[in-house]
Amino acid sequence: MSYLQATEDLYKEAALTPDVGLCCTTNPIWELPGLKIPKIMQEMNYGCGSTVHARDLSNNPKMLYVGVGGGMELLQFSYFNRQKGGVVGVDVVDEMLQASRDNFKIAETENDWFKSEFVDLKKGDALNLPVEDNSIDVAAQNCLFNIFKEEDLKRAIEEMYRVLKPHGKLVMSDPTCEQEMNETLRNDDRLRALCLSGSLPIKQYVKALTDVGFGTIEIRARKPYRILDPKNYPTDELIYIESIEVAAIKDPMPEDGPCVFTGKAAIYFGDEDYFDDNKGHVLLRNQPLAVCDKTAGALGSLGRDDIFISESTFHYDGGGCC
Q: Where in the chain are the domains?
A: 3-259, 264-309
pLDDT of residue 245 exceeding 80, the answer is yes
What does the pLDDT read at residue 123?
97
CA gap 66, 17 in Å, rounded? 21
User: Whole-angstrom Cα distance, residue 197 to residue 192?
Assistant: 5
pLDDT the model gives residue 42: 87
- Contact of 177 with 228, CB cutoff 8 Å: no
Backbone region of residue 16 per phi and psi (left: phi > 0; alpha: psi in -120 to 50; beta: other values):
alpha
Local confidence band at 12 (pLDDT 50, 70, 90 cut-offs)? confident
Three-state DSSP class for 285?
Answer: strand
> What are φ and ψ of residue 44, in 5° steps?
-100, 30
Please write the tens of the pLDDT for every residue from 185-218: 999 999 999 999 999 999 999 999 999 999 999 9
pLDDT at 96: 93
pLDDT of residue 138: 98
pLDDT bucket at 249, cuts 50 / 70 / 90: very high
Cα–Cα distance measured from residue 53 to residue 147, given in angstroms and rounded to the nearest whole number: 23
Collapsing DSSP to helix, strand or coil, 230 comes out as: coil
Mean pLDDT on 300-305 = 96
Query: Model pTM?
Result: 0.93
Q: For 70-144, where are the alpha helices, taking DSSP H only?
A: 72-80, 94-110
| Confidence label for 271 from pLDDT (cuts 50, 70 and 90) | very high
CATH superfamily of domain region 3-259: Vaccinia Virus protein VP39 (3.40.50.150)
Name the residue type at position 255. E
pLDDT tens across 94-134, in order? 999 999 999 999 999 999 999 999 999 999 999 999 999 99
